Amino acid sequence: MILINEHYNKLTASYLFADIAKRVQKFQDDNPDKSIIKLGIGDVTLPLPAACVQAMHRAVDEMAESGSFRGYGPEQGYDFLREKISRHDFQERGADISPEEVFISDGAKCDTGNIQEIFSTDIKVAVPDPVYPVYVDTNVMSGRTGIMQDGRYQGLIYLECTPENGFIPDLPREKADLIYLCYPNNPTGAGINREELQKWVDYARDQKALILFDAAYEAFIRDDDMPRSIFEIPGAREVAIEFRSFSKTAGFTGTRCAYTVVSKDCRAFDLQGRKAMLHSLWNRRHNTKFNGVAYPVQRAAEAVYTPEGQTQVNDNIDYYLGNAEVVLKSMQDLGYKCTGGKNSPYIWIQSGSDSWSLFDDLLNKAGVVCTPGTGFGPCGRGFIRISAFNSRENVKEAMHRISKALS
């Protein structure tokens, strides 16, 4: 008989977002004349940059002519995009990354989940707490954990991120083989400087570990002391894989384009302790299970690196950071301790009570939806996350309502 993967039964139900939806719907049913402003989900609201739209139109026109039509493209991505990424995002910042080390995909979420396929199920995995749920759930699905107890899965190493450590966790006390890091961080909005990130690279080299570095929000960094890539850190080529996305950078949440960087020096080990190069393993996985990102989408992503595209993308990022500044100032004026909002589109707010209590207050008294921090792990209890992804008008109105309701 056909059997299921029993590890899926360990997964907890997605109660957080189901509960949010239920509470929002009840508020709407009870208050049909009141508008709701949603500042919870991390989805962009500005349209695609004009340079990207124009490039996509041109590419679609090419697909309409037999002389310029394209069928299956290279699974790793077209050279024209990989070369732009390599030069602009890495080489111009002093990071030695070649085009062949860039793998184009349809999303960083997919890649951060899929990458664990090339590792043994016996490794010890370390994740931050609070954490982006994909890091945890995909390892649960693969059988690297036990059951959940008290909000945590047995077998995982949890790296606690708290106000006391600035939401940058201490190095693991027990040996970790695979380490997930995300900076600027989702959900806390915290950033990491070069000195702190160097400690993690050194740890990975000493312990023969590997870092999976999620840099999906690097475009929001304005502090020169914060690296935009882990590959700006000496030694990282051997011990890190980096994930990036055009979703938040250029509004591609509905267009779908991202990339993963696996250097040719990046290593793991086989059962005999011999080095195994991860570039070739990920390349094989990519060739076997992925058919590439659509040609018009890759042409649109390429346009991000034109002078016009860079101006338009930076204008959009500045717009969201302006929203974040409005949120940050308003919540601090109300006496709340906050993290993020300066090099990140997220503001992580210490509620002073249970996460759901402040969530309910903002919804019922102000008609504003946020995300309770408890949904990101036990260390998120007592926090909420507010997203800057909305219109300036809505953000200002939301903060006006909140200030009025909570003052």
pLDDT in tens, the chain (407 residues): 999 999 999 998 666 777 888 999 999 999 999 999 999 988 999 999 999 999 999 999 999 999 999 999 999 999 999 999 999 999 999 999 999 999 999 999 999 999 999 999 999 999 999 999 999 999 999 999 999 998 899 999 999 999 999 999 999 999 999 999 999 999 999 999 999 999 999 999 999 999 999 999 999 999 998 999 999 999 999 999 999 999 999 999 999 999 999 999 999 999 999 999 999 999 999 999 999 999 999 999 999 999 999 999 999 999 999 999 999 999 999 999 999 999 999 999 999 888 999 999 999 999 999 999 999 999 999 999 999 999 999 999 999 999 999 98
Which pTM value belongs to this model?
0.96
Give the residue range(s) of CATH 3.90.1150.10 domains in the chain: 12-41+308-406
**What integer pLDDT is reported at residue 29 of this predicted model?**
95
Give the residue range(s) of CATH 3.40.640.10 domains in the chain: 52-305
Q: How many CB atoms lie within 10 A of CB 61?
A: 11
CA nearest 179: which of 253, 128, 119, 122?
128
**What integer pLDDT is reported at residue 387 of this predicted model?**
97
Is the link from the previous residue into 372 a cis peptide, with omega within 30 of 0? no
Q: How many CA atoms lie within 13 A of 150 on its CB side?
A: 3
Task: State the fold for domain 12-41+308-406.
Answer: Aspartate Aminotransferase, domain 1 (3.90.1150)
**What integer pLDDT is reported at residue 295 of this predicted model?**
98
**What integer pLDDT is reported at residue 19 of this predicted model?**
83
**What integer pLDDT is reported at residue 15 of this predicted model?**
64
Q: How many CB atoms lie within 10 A of CB 40?
A: 22
**What integer pLDDT is reported at residue 168 of this predicted model?**
97
Tokens 């027990």 belong to residue: 174
Of 3.40.640.10, 3.40.50.2300, 3.40.109.10, 1.10.10.200, the CATH number of 52-305 is: 3.40.640.10
β pairing state of 102-105 and 275-277: unpaired
Cα angle at 382 between 183 and 384, to 5 degrees?
55
